[in-house]
Structure 1
Amino acid sequence: MFKQLKARFGGGLAIAILSIIAVWLIALVILPQLLMVDYSLRPNLLPSELGGEKDTYSLINYETLFANKIHLTIFLKTIWSSVLVTLLTLCVSYPLAFYLAKVATPGQAALCILLLIIPFWINEILRTFSWYIILAYKGPLNSLLLALGLIDRPMRFMTGDGAVMLGMVYAYILFMIFPIYNAIENLDMNQIKAARSLGAGWIRTHYRIIIPHAKPGIATGCIMTFMLAAGSYAVPALLGSPGSRWFTQIIYNWFFEGGNWNQGAAYAFLLLLICIGFIALVMRIFKVGLGDIAR
């Protein structure tokens, strides 16, 4: 990497770039994670007890999750729901990404991309709150359904995980569309034409030609969407009900309401491990490496 940077920018600038990257990785990624691990292995003590006999390393903060059935259920539900959000986002994003890359004219693609990006100029909390208004008991969606005669009384859309998943698909759709779009855009259109000329239908063409070519983009989009969904706090807090809590809300409660940073760090580190495991699983399923994802 240094040789490539040196050939392009010169030795001095290459060293400066690598130094900035190293400082960023160490100060903002590695050290905070190490500090979180250190917190998670120590008990929650009074300031006067720090460094004393009770200040020892143990796994008791991790054991708390498996001993607490409610927290464990929420943890497992969060992982499963994040996987489902990723799959739903992929199903919505793939056709749109293919349309933008290979079907739409440059003008149509530019207009669609602009329409996708404009809502994201607004803060995520405001965008999520707009869905809260739309899905409210006396909101526009219920009013429209009542006016059309499709329902005889308002429905409560925010009583389960459905509203949370809908909000997350909307919130993170760009993180799925653009990696897939970039991957499909590089595909030679002649390969698609050749497959169609040889009698392959659209489903077979996508399965044999387009999807294999777009695997790095699909893997990148799935990884980014899953990690954002698993670590989301604003969407489940606004669109969720008491029965649809997210694991990040439990972590937030430990840190800022319970004042137990050690327990919160243990929960946060477990969630990080699951995310790392998901990345490894996606890379194995799609048979891609870090270089393919970072491309």
Structure 2
Amino acid sequence: MIEAVRNGFRAFVGRYGLAVAVYIAAAMFVWVVLLIVLPQIAMIDTSFRGNVPASAVGGPDDGYTLSNYAAFVLGPMGNGNLFDVTILIRTLVAAVAVTLIDIALCYPVAYMLAHSATGVTARLMVLGLIAPFWINEILRAFAFRIIFGSTGLINEVGQATGLMDRPFDFISADVALYSSLAYSYILLMIFPIYNAVEALDKNQIEAARDMGAGTLRVHWRIVLPVAKPGIASGATIVFMLTAGALAAPQILGGPSSLWFTQLVYQWFNDAGNWPRGAAYATILLVTCITFVLLMMKVFRVPIGAIGR
């Protein structure tokens, strides 16, 4: 492993020069170590601490404890914390649903970009995908609330055309929330799939069609095996970001749709219990990583394939 990294660094230096290689290495160090690893270590360390006043931090009362994790499992009364566990499961199920929606929407678009659209058509498709994201995520969430609200565009058009007898509560049904989340991360699904599918030789597709294979069989036997690493990469990003979303659930979530990140936020900000919030954040992180690794194992996608 170390030898492979060393050889890769030498090859990079030989191609781009020492200055560029050092800059990239320093940037990666800052990004991975200072902005990801160290904050995560600090959060995990905090999660094992007791909730003591600021003046007692580092003192004899500031010791390590498992009480924050025990509270998630056992609850305040010690007889089980079904409420928080249910919210965690519901968040993971919602994240899976949003990921599947994005896969279904983005796979055909990515394939068209890679093998069908050319010239002006391809540029217009890319521009149409990117331009809406010039708008802030919060503003987009409120726009979805306006569109799906009881007096919003969909209900007004539906009633005006006679398709709906009365307004439908898209907010309580989480339709607005799922739509907003799927839309927010659509680019993060399209481009990994596009990057994978673009490498596919068109002659393989033409040969399969010449041999009588239908469209579905061509995609199942030829395109999907090549696109699988891109789908896995995009699905991982979308799943993790959806499970960790906060703004959209706050704005678009129904009264009975509490997101696990909202619990984390409440422990940090409303309750002022940072160790408990850090423990809940760590539980969400570990659960999501475990789920992603399990799914990669089930679908036989190695981690190395994602980085290609």
For this structure pair, what is the TM-score category when the shorter chain's length is used for normalisation? over 0.9
Q: Which consecutive segments of 4 or more residues in structure 1 shift more than 4 A?
A: none
Structure 1 position 26 matched with structure 2 position 39? no
Q: What's the counterpart of residue 260 of structure 1?
A: 273
Confirm or deny that 1:228 pairs with 2:241. Answer: yes
> Shift of residue 17 of structure 1?
2.7
Map 1:78-93; keep pairs closer than 5 Å.
78-93=91-106
Looking at structure 1, the residues matched to 18 and 190 of structure 2 have their Cα atoms a distance apart, in angstroms, of 37
Q: Deviations over 1:178-236 (max 9, x none)?
A: 11111111111110111111111111111100000111110111001101100111111
Partner of 2:174: 161
Question: When the two structures are superposed, what TM-score results if normalisation uses the length of structure 2?
Answer: 0.91
Amino acid at match of 2:71: T
Please say if 1:35 is aligned against 2:48: no
User: SS where residue 243 of structure 1 aligns?
Assistant: coil
Which residue is 2:143 aligned to? 130
Q: Is the 8 A contact 1:219 1:286 kept in 2?
A: no
Q: Equivalent pairs: percent with the same residue?
A: 48
Question: What is residue 152 of structure 1 aligned with on the other side?
Answer: 165
Q: How many residues in Structure 1 have an aligned counterpart in Structure 2?
A: 295
Separation in 1, partners of 2:151, 2:211 = 54
Tell me, yes or no, if the aligned pair for 1:196 and 1:205 is still in contact at 8 Å.
yes
Q: Which residue of 2 aligns with 1:187?
A: 200
- Name the structure 2 match of 1:2: 9
Looking at structure 1, the residues matched to 301 and 15 of structure 2 have their Cα atoms a distance apart, in angstroms, of: 27
For the 8 Å contact 1:216–1:293, the answer to whether it is kept is yes
Do structure 1's residue 116 and structure 2's residue 116 form an aligned pair? no
Give the equivalent residue in structure 2 for 1:245.
258
In the alignment, the residues of structure 1 paired with residue 269 and residue 85 of structure 2 have an alpha-carbon distance, to the nearest angstrom, of 20
CA distance in 2, matches of 1:285, 1:228: 21
Match of 2:225 in 1: 212
- Amino acid across the alignment from 1:62: Y
Q: Distance in 1 between matches of 2:194 and 2:21?
A: 31
- Residues 12-52 of structure 1 deviation map (CA, whole Å, 9 limit, x = unaligned): 44234323322332211111011001100011011233334
Q: Report the Cα distance in structure 1 between the residues aligned to 2:241 and 2:232, rounded to whole angstroms.
A: 14
TM-score computed with the length of structure 1 as normaliser: 0.95
Q: Displacement, 1:82?
A: 0.4
Among 50, 53, 58, the alignment partner of 1:51 is 58
| Structure 1: segments with no counterpart, 5+ residues | none
Partner of 2:110: 97
Gaps of 5+ in 2: 1-7, 75-80
1:133 touches 1:140 (CA, 8 Å); kept in 2? Answer: yes
SS of the residue corresponding to residue 244 of structure 1 reads coil
Deviates more, 1:58-67 or 1:261-270: 58-67
